[in-house]
Amino acid sequence: MKLLIKNGRVVDPANNIDEIRDVLVDGLKISKVAKDINEKVEKIIDATGKIVMPGIVDMHVHLREPGREDKETICTGTKAALKGGVTTVLAMPNTQPAMDCVGSVKLLKDIIKRSAVANVFIAGSITKGRLGRELVDIDKVRKEGVVAITDDGNSVDDEKIFLKALKEAKKNKVLVVCHCEDKALSKNGVVNLGIISTRLGLRGVSKEAEYKRVERDIGLAEKAYAPIHIAHVSAKESVELIAKAKKKGIKVSAETAPHYFYYSQDALSGYDTNLKVNPPLRTKDDVDALKQGLRDGTIDCIASDHAPHTENEKMVEFDRAEFGTIGLETELAVSNLELVGRGLLTWPQLVKKLCVKPAKILNIDKGMLSKGKDADIIIVSPEKEWVVDKSSILSKSKNSCFLGKKLKGMVEYTILAGKIVYKCTNSS
Amino acid sequence: MTQKSIWARKDLLGLEDLSREELEFILTTIDSFKEVSTRDIKKVPALRGKTVVNLFYEPSTRTRVSFEVAAKRLSADVINIVAESSSIIKGETLIDTGRNIQALKADIIVLRHSFSGAAVLLARNVDISVVNAGDGWHEHPTQALLDIFTLKEKFGRIEGLTVSIVGDIAHSRVARSNIWGLTKLGAKAIVCAPKMLIPPAIEEMGVTVTSDIEHALKNADAVNVLRMQFERDSQDAFPKQLEYFKNFGITRERLEKAKKNILVMHPGPLNRGIEIASDVADGPKSVILEQVTNGIAVRMAVLFLVAQGRKKK
């Protein structure tokens, strides 16, 4: 089938394009991006006034299946992704069982084949059971298709084991994603250590718990000559360490999540458990540093850290609530509002953060609208405002920290491998 | 009430949220309830036909009894639920427990809970009134109100007073509520503790911080001595008992160097010889038992006000 997207503002920074173009899709692939394409096609979408860009590549998503299908499944999670303009996700391995062996990965691949409606790449764990003790057979899981490894939720405390993991990963050309948290320092903390933990009477997590581990991991990456990716950066000091490492030529990339630049810790005054995230929301100063880091390239990309939890796990005392917020359906609109809307990034720069860079970091063939590439395309109304409403959330869990917030930028169409897989029905 | 009520809240969750006007209005309301307890028949019909449920997830005798006495003097019916004897241990959530109490057509829940923010959570999820009787390390508004009311009785004002709060500031809901209340009403608050018991960035709450007890007492009009809970929390650093008394204990010698009419307050229960010397606790500067008496009037006023607040909704 041929599909023609007419008159949209095509934002495709991988090809240095940011102008009104038509996009022709033939079958699964992009066939042509040019001005005034006039071809006989089965379907034409008029994208006048809209942005046409590659589908988002979100490299930090918890889909929960297998094991916690009450929170999210591959099916519901990928449906939510499409609504948010995300056509490719990296599924985190903290499932039950963890993605720590060929058997588990095969199981997950089966589920994906059966029920995924978007592209799902698999992250394996670094250690068995994510316990930080015994290395996963990286060679074997890579052969099953694992593109990255991480013990996300935990850091590998033992330096020797982590160094070995970095060397193995390098040999196998698998990316190591670091959850930087020294639990000896973060202990049972639930919010940022400082005035907010003091005011609310909650245990604090110091920024040290994050950046000391960022520092260690960068040091070990340098030692192993291996690339690493720092997940969910939240602290100013981490941004500074990453900038320094990049200057030195160490192969480190980094992501942050929309909630870390939309909110500061001040938002926690009402003990909203949807704002209980790990690492915790930090100070305004940190938020500014993250925005600056996104602007100057220290932070390569934006990932949602989509972390679904049931209402039962969130409608409890703050201390007892699970950490995490969902984010697939809001990441584009939050980023547009906070970064493009405030003049920190241009649209091409934002598309780099959401599409080009994550694909590059994961070394997957996504994130661009080049001829012959998979036709994963989204069409966005950049100025359209909408309010995040619980009833409109497609994710199985509704724990969005953006509930009730007015955001800007709406995904009108999501096209996956040449097929329209999502069409916005909201006419507001 | 002859004065026009400015109170519109269904809950009292903390003093941080309150305006100076609201605080002053509560203090005036307390005044009018204090007299009731001096009568031969200590009862008014203000909450007749209302049901107050004391929902206590933490052991507490004095606060619970104070609320119970207050509710009864307002002619309310009182039910006490304590953690050990309820379905809490069967795993019922706080919200479910609260909604069950609401379904019993109770009017006010007085909540004591070991987790900070519990009262906020409950209040958001029930339509009936919630009074915070202490949540974790967060707030204990009625305790601070009775401290402040006692100060106002003694000095005739709050504005311009200097009050030192001495003890485990980090883990104290009494300290936090006092800080909000005092500073909003124009008093100067000083917190004094070993460094390990001073929570980070507390200066941003508008207090002066010191670890020097002499300094804390020097210009203070009152010292509020917090109970040291040495049994608490093994994971947090804690000083040794005797060392604490030596460096921070409120003794006659230390008070002799302070203002002549300095008041000594304590939320109870006392650890004699740990945070306060016996002769000070029982001495002429101590208003500790008056605080207990005032606590009744404070809780009567608060129960009365939140019940009104609900009606308006």
Q: What is the pLDDT of residues B37-49, one digit of tens each?
A: 899 999 999 999 9
Alpha-carbon distance of B67 to A82, in angstroms, equals: 54
Of the residues A273, A317, A318, A320, the best mutation for testing chain B's interface (the one with the most B CB atoms within 10 Å of its CB) is A317
**For residue B165, which amino acid is it?**
I
Interface touch B202/A204, C-beta < 8 Å: no
Alpha-carbon distance of A152 to A125, in angstroms, equals: 8
Q: Is the pLDDT of residue B150 over 50?
A: yes
**Torsion angle, CA of A171/A174/A177/A178, rounded to 10 degrees?**
-10
Q: Is the pLDDT of residue B312 over 70?
A: no
Report pLDDT for B91: 78
Q: Tell me, yes or no, if B90 is annotated catalytic.
A: yes
Alpha-carbon distance of A180 to A231, in angstroms, equals: 7
Q: Is the pLDDT of residue B271 over 80?
A: yes
User: Which residues neighbour B103 within 8 Å (Cβ) at sequence distance 6 or greater?
Assistant: none
Selecting among B4, B38, B90, B195, the annotated active-site residue is B90
Structure tokens at A23: 């996009």
Interface touch A194/B201, C-beta < 8 Å: yes
Q: Which of A140, A82, A145, A84 is nearest to A116 (CA)?
A: A82
A188 touching B, CB under 8 A? Answer: yes
Interface touch B235/A315, C-beta < 8 Å: no
Q: Is the pLDDT of residue B229 over 90?
A: no
Neighbours of A426 (CB within 10 A): 11
Q: Where are the alpha helices (DSSP H) in A127-235?
A: 138-143, 159-171, 183-186, 195-200, 208-224
Q: Which of B73, B72, B67, B14 is nearest to B42 (CA)?
A: B73
For residue B96, how far is the Cα from the chain centroid?
Answer: 26
Of the residues B11, B116, B165, the best mutation for testing chain A's interface (the one with the most A CB atoms within 10 Å of its CB) is B116
Q: Which residue has the tokens 């046409």?
A: A52
Interface touch B200/A320, C-beta < 8 Å: no
Alpha-carbon distance of B18 to A223, in angstroms, equals: 56
DSSP string, B17-39: T--HHHHHHHHHHHHHHHGGGGS
Model confidence, pTM: 0.95
Burial class, B257, CB count within 10 angstroms (exposed 0-12 / middle 13-18 / buried 19+):
exposed
| Cβ neighbours of A194 in B, within 8 Å | 200-201
Decide if A99 contacts A67 (C-beta within 8 A). Answer: no
Q: Is the pLDDT of residue B313 over 50?
A: no
Q: From A270, which residue of chain B is nearest by alpha-carbon distance?
A: B120
Task: Give SS3 for B130.
Answer: strand
| % residues pLDDT > 90 (chain B) | 86
A266 touching B, CB under 8 A? Answer: no
Report pLDDT for A317: 95
Structure tokens at A197: 């933990």
Of the residues B115, B139, B165, B234, the best mutation for testing chain A's interface (the one with the most A CB atoms within 10 Å of its CB) is B115
Q: Which of A119, A174, A361, A401 is nearest to A273 (CA)?
A: A401
Report pLDDT for B237: 60
Interface touch A201/B176, C-beta < 8 Å: yes
Report pLDDT for B233: 54
Report pLDDT for B83: 75
Interface touch B201/A318, C-beta < 8 Å: no
| Cβ neighbours of A193 in B, within 8 Å | 200
Alpha-carbon distance of B165 to A167, in angstroms, equals: 55
| % residues pLDDT > 70 (chain B) | 93
Selecting among B34, B73, B112, B266, the annotated active-site residue is B112
Decide if A263 contacts A275 (C-beta within 8 A). Answer: yes
Q: List B163's β-bridge partners, or say none.
A: B189, B222
Alpha-carbon distance of B248 to A262, in angstroms, equals: 44
Q: Tell me, yes or no, if B63 is annotated catalytic.
A: yes
Alpha-carbon distance of B108 to B102, in angstroms, equals: 9
ipTM of this predicted complex?
Answer: 0.94
Query: Which strands, in side-by-side order, build the sheet including A86-91?
Result: A56-61, A86-91, A119-124, A148-149, A175-178, A228-230, A252-256, A301-302
For residue B309, how far is the Cα from the chain centroid?
Answer: 21
DSSP B85: G
| Cβ neighbours of A274 in B, within 8 Å | none
Report the first-to-last Cα separation within chain A, whole angstroms: 30
Q: How confident is the model at residue B86 (pLDDT cuts 50, 70, 90)?
A: low
Structure tokens at A129: 């059971």
Task: Please list the ranges in chain A whose pLDDT falls under 50.
Answer: 428
Give the sign of the dihedral formed by CA A336, CA A337, CA A338, CA A343: positive
* Chain B contacts in chain A segment 199-238 (CB below 8 A): 199-202, 204
Q: List B115's β-bridge partners, or say none.
A: none
Decide if A364 contacts A147 (C-beta within 8 A). Answer: yes
Structure tokens at A336: 């547009």
DSSP string, B126-159: -SSEEEEEEETTTB-HHHHHHHHHHHHHHHS--T
Report pLDDT for B200: 97
Decide if A395 contacts A326 (C-beta within 8 A). Answer: yes
| Cβ neighbours of B201 in A, within 8 Å | 194-195, 198
- Which of A310-314, B43-47, B84-88, B291-295 is the least confident region? B84-88
Alpha-carbon distance of A253 to B130, in angstroms, equals: 49
